[in-house]
Chains A and B, each alone.
Chain A
Amino acid sequence: GAVVSQHPSWVICKSGTSVKIECRSLDFQATTMFWYRQFPKQSLMLMATSNEGSKATYEQGVEKDKFLINHASLTLSTLTVTSAHPEDSSFYICSAAILREIDEQYFGPGTRLTVT
C-alpha cells in the first residue's frame, strides 16, 4: 500500500517559538492532503485540507494564521505551528489522497508536539 511519512515524530519546543511538521507521500503523488489534530483519548479532528498548488481550506475554529499549511508539491505538505503555546500540545496526523480516489486516504504515523 501507499506510504505516508511524517517528520519529526516527536518535537518539544518552547512557548513562543514556531515548529514545522512535514508530511510526505513516499510512493505516490498526493493531490490532496489533510491535517488532523488528536488530543489524548479523543478522536481525530480535521484541521484543514490542502490541495497541491492552492491555499489550504481550514475548518471552522482553526486559526489559519497560527497553523500555516503549505502544499508546494505533490509529495509534500507542511504544517507550521506559529508562536506555539502549551495548549497547542497535541498529536498531529496527516493523511494523503489522490483526488479522484479520495476514498483512499493514507495516514502518516503522526507527530507528537509538546510545548513547554
Chain B
Amino acid sequence: AQTVTQSQPEMSVQEAETVTLSCTYDTSESDYYLFWYKQPPSRQMILVIRQEAYKQQNATENRFSVNFQKAAKSFSLKISDSQLGDAAMYFCAFLGATNKLIFGTGTLLAVQP
C-alpha cells in the first residue's frame, strides 16, 4: 500500500524568506501524480502544485517549486519570498492507480512578520 510521510509537523519562516517542506512516499508504481495542497484556516483545500511522475522536470508555480527525486521517493516543496498569506497547513498527496488521493499528515507553516 502507498504511504505518504511528512516528517515536519510544524515549520516557521520569516516573511520574505524561503522555506522547504519535506515529503516522502512509498509506492511500487511507476506512473503516478504528486501534489501539494494548502489548507488555510478557512479549511478550503487549495491545490498549490502538482507533478507527474513521468516528468523529470520539477514543477514550478510562481513562488512555489518542488524538488522531485523519483528514485529517492522524495517530493519537497520550496516556498520562496514567503508571505503572511502562505501561513496554512500544507498536505503532500499521492495519486496512483487506485485513483484515490493519499494524504500525508500535514505540516503547519507559520510565517513571522
Task: Name the residue of chain A whose CB is nearest to the CB of B101.
Answer: A105
Q: Is the CB of A34 within 8 A of B101?
A: yes
How many residues in B have their beta carbons less than 8 Å from beta carbons of A?
18
Q: Is the interface of A mostly helix, strand, loop or mixed?
A: strand
Task: Name the residue of chain B whose CB is nearest to the CB of A97.
Answer: B99
**Chain A residues whose C-beta falls within 8 Å of the C-beta of B50 in the assembled complex:** 103
A91 CB to nearest B CB, Å: 6
B76 contacts the other chain (Cβ, under 8 Å)? Answer: no
Q: Is the CB of A102 within 8 A of B95?
A: yes
**Chain A residues whose C-beta falls within 8 Å of the C-beta of B42 in the assembled complex:** 109
Question: Which of A32, A43, A45, A109 has the largest number of chain B CB atoms within 10 A?
Answer: A43
B36 contacts the other chain (Cβ, under 8 Å)? Answer: no
B84 CB to nearest A CB, Å: 21
B56 contacts the other chain (Cβ, under 8 Å)? Answer: no
Contact of B45 among A32, A49, A93, A103 (CB under 8 A): A93
The CA-CA distance from A95 to B47 in the complex, in Å, is 12
| A interface, size bucket | 10 to 19
- Binary per-residue interface labels of chain B (21-47) against chain A in the complex, 1 for a CB within 8 Å, 0 otherwise: 000000000000100000000111110
The CA-CA distance from A91 to B44 in the complex, in Å, is 11
Contact of B44 among A44, A46, A103, A109 (CB under 8 A): A109
Task: Name the residue of chain A whose CB is nearest to the CB of B9.
Answer: A41
Given A34-B101, A102-B99, A103-B50: A43 and B91 interface contact (C-beta under 8 Å): yes
Q: Is the CB of B45 within 8 A of A46?
A: no
Residues of chain A at the chain B interface (Cβ within 8 Å): 32, 34, 38, 42-46, 49, 91, 93, 95, 99, 102-103, 105, 107, 109-110
> Can you give 11 A-B contacts (C-beta < 8 A)?
A34-B101, A42-B105, A42-B106, A44-B101, A49-B99, A49-B100, A93-B43, A105-B101, A107-B44, A107-B46, A109-B44
In the complex, the 5 A-B pairs of residues with the closest C-beta atoms, listed nearest first: A107-B45, A43-B103, A102-B99, A103-B33, A109-B44
